[in-house]
């Protein structure tokens, strides 16, 4: 037991970890990681960057460390082929002060099983409306998948959630050990001053923009098929792109954009359209607002928790939401987004972690030989 761990062994679990404490060794297990491009990866990667800037040691256990295979219907996502013992050895080598399991996939499953088998506490997060996500891809009812979610998260010391709507939903399913973990935005990148892409020059406005994975669960077809006049632009890539490009030849598909190029796509648009009904937050909404672009969305989790009437609009009729959002002021949007800080969000993450006690550290490090 090193001095660092002894310092943190007596932290009260009911209160979480003090963000001002000495540097910690933190293990984050996630099935979502680079080269995937989505809100979960962006959240985890940025959180890791901020933690490291603060002096914490962060080890990410991700699919890149293991043999993997493409997810059915979604080849961009790799599913790791491994056993709890292999993940356990990685955790033992890391010797963490806290273990966080970010996703409910194969790696999250393996880490959960290993920690439970050694009586090691861990935290989890609920990043995506997993039952709805799978339901959209299988045609089955979301109710079929909720038992897995309850089973997976119930043993966690804390379940980190981004919004009150999701908190309420999880409570209704009997998951009550909940901790608020919000999101942030990089204001040095996302700004109303970002130059729009050259492709916007020939578009007849208003320019209506979608950014994110181009996949069935994002409900992009509802946006592209709405009869609101203007130019519809899609930024991102994914398994549904080819079929949507064929079905909507008048829409402009720009593919993946990052950094200031992405910021320019936001800043040059008149309305950012967020048609998804399966997200728990919707990080892209905050990025759009930071660029001064109002948001139109359905009244579902994420938009309900984030949007105010002066920065966006919600309606079951997405065309009506678009029309109302166009009256929002760009300066109000940018000012609103400025309240979202990755520093503050990372502090929330830290306070949600659970410090391992000495006996638990010893147990975790007793990794199997095979």
Q: What is the CATH number of the domain that holds 137?
A: 3.40.50.2000
Asked if 253 contacts 181 with a C-beta cutoff of 8 angstroms, the reply is: no
CA distance 65 to 70: 15
Q: What is residue 3's predicted lDDT score, i.e. its pLDDT?
A: 40
Residues 214, 131: Cα–Cα separation, whole Å: 19
The pLDDT tens digits for 79-97 are 788 877 899 999 999 989 9
Backbone phi, psi, residue 159, to 5°: -115, 120
335 and 348 together in one domain: no
Q: Which domain, by its residues, includes 142? A: 3-184+344-365
Residue 212 sits at the vertex; the CA angle it makes with 269 and 280, to the nearest 5 degrees, is 110
Tokens of 224: 């592209």
Name the token pair of 125: 């997060």
C-alpha to C-alpha distance for 110 and 113, rounded to whole angstroms: 5
Same-domain check for residues 253 and 315: yes
Assess if residue 272 is contained within a domain.
yes
pLDDT above 50: residue 4: no
- Asked if 196 and 252 touch (Cβ cutoff 8 Å), the reply is no
Q: With contact defined as beta carbons under 8 Å apart, do 40 and 127 qualify?
A: yes
Instruction: Tell whether 79 and 215 lie within a shared domain.
Output: no
% of the chain at pLDDT higher than 90? 78
Say whether both 266 and 303 belong to one domain: yes
Rounded to whole angstroms, the Cα distance separating 255 from 238 reads 9
370 assigned to some structural domain:
no
CA–CA gap between residue 370 and residue 354 (Å, rounded) = 28
pLDDT score for 2: 44
Count of other CB atoms within 10 angstroms of residue 258: 11
Predicted confidence at residue 131, as pLDDT, reads 85
Asked if 143 and 12 sit in the same domain, the reply is yes
Percent pLDDT > 70 in the chain is 93
Q: Which residue has the tokens 């491009």?
A: 37
Span 30-69, pLDDT tens digits: 999 998 888 899 999 999 999 999 999 999 999 988 888 7
As a whole number of angstroms, the distance between CA 201 and CA 187 comes to: 25
In a domain, residue 264? The reply is yes
pLDDT at 11: 45
Say if residue 287 is in the same domain as residue 326.
Answer: yes
361 found inside a domain: yes
Please report whether residue 191 resides in a domain: no
pLDDT at 244 > cutoff 70: yes
Highest mean pLDDT among 1-5, 32-36, 37-41, 202-206 belongs to: 202-206
Pair 166, 202 in one domain: no
| Mean pLDDT taken over the chain | 91
- The model's pTM is 0.89
What SS3 class is residue 110? helix
130-163 pLDDT per residue, tens:
888 788 778 889 899 999 999 999 999 999 999 9
As separate numbers, helices (DSSP H) first and strands (DSSP E) second, the chain gives 16, 14
- CB-based contact 32:40 (threshold 8 Å): yes
Residues 133 and 10 in one domain: yes
Establish if 104 belongs to a structural domain.
Answer: yes
* Alpha-carbon distance values, 284 to 14, 40, 146, 182 (Å): 33, 11, 26, 13
Same domain (yes/no): 294, 254: yes
Q: Are residues 274 and 320 in the same domain?
A: yes
Classify burial at 267, counting beta carbons within 10 Å of its beta carbon; exposed 0-12, middle 13-18, buried 19 or more. buried
- The answer to the question of residue 190 being in a domain is no
- Residue pair 271/325 in contact by the 8 Å Cβ criterion: yes
Residue 189 lies in a domain: no
Give the chain's domain count. Answer: 2
Give the residue ranges of DSSP H helices in the chain. 3-8, 39-53, 84-94, 106-117, 130-138, 146-153, 164-172, 220-225, 241-247, 259-267, 283-290, 303-306, 318-325, 330-337, 342-352, 358-365
Spell out a b/e string for 159-195, using b for 16 or more CB atoms within 10 Å of the CB, else e. bbbbbebbbebbeeeebeebbebbbbbeeeebbbebe
Contact 33, 43 (CB under 8 A): no
Clarify whether residues 180 and 206 are in a common domain: no
Nearest to 336 by CA among 287, 268, 270, 271: 287
* Residue 85: per-residue pLDDT: 86
Tokens of 200: 């916007």
At residue 135, the pLDDT reads: 83
Q: Are residues 46 and 175 in the same domain?
A: yes
């Amino acid at each position: 037991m090193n001095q660092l761990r002894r310092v943190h062994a007596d932290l009260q679990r009911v209160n979480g970890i003090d963000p001002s404490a000495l540097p910690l060794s933190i293990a984050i297990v996630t099935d979502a990681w680079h080269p995937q491009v989505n809100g979960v990866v962006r959240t985890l990667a940025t959180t890791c960057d901020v933690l490291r800037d603060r002096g914490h040691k962060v080890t990410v256990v991700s699919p890149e460390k293991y043999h993997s295979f493409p997810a059915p219907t979604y080849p961009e996502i790799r599913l790791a082929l491994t056993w709890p013992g292999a993940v356990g050895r990685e955790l033992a080598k890391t010797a963490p002060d806290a273990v966080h399991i970010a996703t409910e996939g194969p790696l999250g499953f393996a880490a959960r099983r290993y920690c439970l088998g050694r009586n090691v506490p861990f935290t989890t997060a609920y990043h995506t409306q997993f039952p709805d996500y799978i339901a959209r891809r299988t045609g089955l009812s979301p109710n079929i998948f909720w038992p897995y979610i309850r089973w997976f998260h119930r043993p966690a010391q804390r379940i980190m959630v981004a919004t009150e709507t999701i908190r309420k939903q999880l409570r209704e399913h009997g998951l009550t050990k909940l901790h608020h973990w919000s999101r942030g935005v990089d204001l040095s990148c996302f700004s109303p001053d970002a130059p729009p892409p050259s492709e916007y020059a020939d578009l007849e406005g208003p320019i209506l923009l979608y950014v994110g994975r181009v996949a069935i669960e994002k409900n992009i077809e509802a946006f592209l098929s709405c009869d609101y006049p203007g130019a519809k632009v899609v930024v991102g890539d994914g398994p549904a792109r080819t079929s949507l490009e064929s079905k909507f030849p008048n829409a402009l598909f720009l593919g993946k954009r990052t950094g200031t190029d992405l910021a320019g796509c936001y800043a040059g648009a008149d309305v950012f359209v967020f048609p998804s009904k399966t997200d728990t937050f919707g990080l892209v909404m905050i990025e759009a607002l930071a660029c001064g672009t109002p948001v139109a969305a359905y009244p579902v989790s994420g938009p309900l928790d984030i949007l105010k009437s002066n920065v966006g609009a919600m309606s079951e009729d997405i065309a009506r939401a678009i029309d109302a959002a166009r009256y929002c002021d760009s300066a109000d949007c940018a000012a609103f987004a400025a309240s979202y800080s990755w520093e503050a969000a990372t502090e929330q993450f830290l306070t949600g972690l659970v410090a391992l006690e000495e006996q638990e550290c010893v147990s975790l490090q007793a990794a199997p030989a095979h």
